Amino acid sequence: MKILAFAEQRDGAFKQSAFEVTKAASDAAGPLNADVVGLLIGSGIGAIASQLGGFGASRVVVVDDPQLTHYSTTAYAKIVAEVARKEQATILFLPASQMGRDLAPRVAVKLEAGVAADCTALRVDKGEIITSRPVYAGKALTDVRVTSPTSIFKLRPNVFTAGSTNGTSAVVEKVTVTLTADDFGARVTKTALATGRPDVTEAAIIVSGGRGMKGAEHFHLVEELADAFGAAVGASRAVVDAGWRPHDEQVGQTGKTVSPMLYVACGISGAVQHLAGMSTAKYIVAINKDKDAPIFQIADYGIVGDVFEVLPVLTGEVKKLLGKN
C-alpha cells in the first residue's frame, strides 16, 4: 500500500506543510503497513527533494519542468493524478493550504476518490484511516471515513507536528509528465508576496487586535508586540470592516482559520465568529478591559486590563526574554 504525500514548495523552498504532511503520512503508514512516497512539483527543485526522507518518505518523485515555475491548477492536478496512478497510491495526503485546497477536488474527480477536507486529527482503525474535522465554524467535529477505493486527505496546516528531521535522505526519482498548452488552462502570471511578517495561517505565534485598539493609529502597539515575538499580525472582522487593517489579516468565520502555538488577542471581545477562526490555537492569551468578554472563556491566560497600558510593557518583557533589545 502506498501513501502519496504532496510536498508543497514555493520559490524552491519547502513549505512547513510539506514536512507536516509527510510526517503525518509516515505515522499512518506504520499501522497500515504502507510506504510513503513524497511528490514534489516545480522547476529547478530537485535539490531539496531528499529532505523529505527525514520525515518518513522512503522515496520522493520529482516532476521538474520549466513550465511548472508557476502554479497552474490543471497542470499540477494532472501531474498528481498521473503520479498517483503510476505509483498505484490509494491514499493521498495534501495540505489544506490554498494550493492543496485548489488541487484536491480536481485530483479527486480524476482518481474517483473521496476527499476528507480540513482534517485536524487522524487515526488508523481496523486498517483504515478515520479522520476528525471541524464543521459549522468549529462548533462541532465530525468523524469521517472515505469509502471509495482511493482516498484523499487534506490536512489543516499547523496542526500536525512535523517534529525535526531524523536525518534520513529519501531516494529521489525524477519523473517526466508530458504537458501541453492545453494543460495550462489557468496559469499564474504573477505572484506578489507581502514581505516581512509571516502569514497568519502559517505563523507559530499571532498577535491580533480588535475594536479595543480604538483606531488604526494604535495598531502599532499590536505590530510592535508581533515583531518582538517574530509573529504574524491578525485582526478581528470589526477592524477590517472599519478599514483599520487589511482583509488578509482577518481571523474568523469570514476571514482566515488559524491554528498557531500562541494566539494573543488584544482588545478582542471574542464573538462567536472570531472564535471560529482561532479556537484551535494551542495557547490563547487575552488582554481586554472587560472581565465579562467571552474571549476569557477560551483563553488559557488573561489580563483584565487596558491594552494601551499592557501591550508596551508586554513587548518590553518579551524582547528581554528573547534577547532582542
Partner 1 sequence: MNIVVCVNHVPDTETKVKVGPDGKSIDKAGVNWMLGPYDEFAVEEALRLKERAGGQVTAISLGGDTHKETLRKALAMGVDKAVLLKDDSVRDSFSVSKALAEAAQSLNPEIILFGKQSIDYHNEQVPGMIAEILGWPSVSVVVKMDIQGTKVVCEREIEGGHEVVETTLPVVISAQKGLNEPRYPSLKGIMGAKTKPIEEKQPAAVQNRVEVLDMHKPDQKPPGKIVGTDATAVPELVRLLHEEAKVI
Please report, as residue ranges, which positions from 62 to 81 form the binding site for partner 1 (by CB under 8 A): 70-71, 73-74, 77
Maximum Cα–Cα distance for the chain, whole Å? Answer: 62
Q: Please state, in angstroms and rounded to a whole number, the distance separating the CA atoms of residues 70 and 79.
A: 14
Q: Which of 1, 13, 47, 109 binds partner 1 (CB under 8 A)?
A: 109
219 near partner 1, judged by CB under 8 A: no
Nearer Cβ to partner 1 (11/33): 11
Give SS3 for 156: coil
- Does 97 contact partner 1 by CB under 8 A? yes
**Shortest distance, position 169 Cβ to partner 1, whole Å:** 28
In whole angstroms, the minimum distance from the beta carbon of 133 to partner 1 comes to: 8
- Identified binder of partner 1 from the candidate list 9, 27, 106, 211, rule CB under 8 A: 106
Total residues contacting partner 1 by CB under 8 A comes to: 93
> Interacting stretch for partner 1, rule CB under 8 A, among 36-44, 167-175, 217-225, 316-324?
316-324
Output DSSP code: residue 250. B
CA distance 207 to 226: 5
Sites for partner 1 among residues 134-173 (CB under 8 A) = 134-148
Which three cell numbers, joined as nine digits, stand for 324? 532582542
**The one segment of 36-44, 50-58, 83-91, 299-307 that binds partner 1 by CB under 8 A:** 299-307
In the bound complex, what is the minimum distance in angstroms from residue 305's beta carbon to partner 1? 5
Q: What's the DSSP call for residue 97? A: S
User: CB of 219: closest distance to partner 1 in angstroms?
Assistant: 19
Distance from C-alpha of 194 to C-alpha of 163, rounded to nearest angstrom: 27
Separation of alpha carbons 214 and 184, rounded Å = 47
The alpha helices in 200-258, defined as continuous H runs, are 220-229, 237-241
Is residue 224 close enough to count as binding partner 1 by CB under 8 A?
Answer: no
Element (H, E) at 285: strand 283-287
Residue 294 binds partner 1, judged by CB under 8 A? no
In the complex with partner 1, the residue whose CB is nearer, 172 or 265, is 265
Residue 308 to residues 85, 115, 214, 267, 325, Cα–Cα distance (Å): 58, 46, 10, 10, 21
Q: 293-306 burial by CB neighbour count: b if 16+ within 10 A, else e?
A: bbbbebbeebbeee
Examine residue 116 and tell whether it contacts partner 1 (CB under 8 A). yes
Cβ–Cβ under 8 Å, residues 260 and 206:
yes
Q: Which of residues 272-291 bind partner 1 (CB under 8 A)?
A: 272-273, 276, 279, 282-285, 291
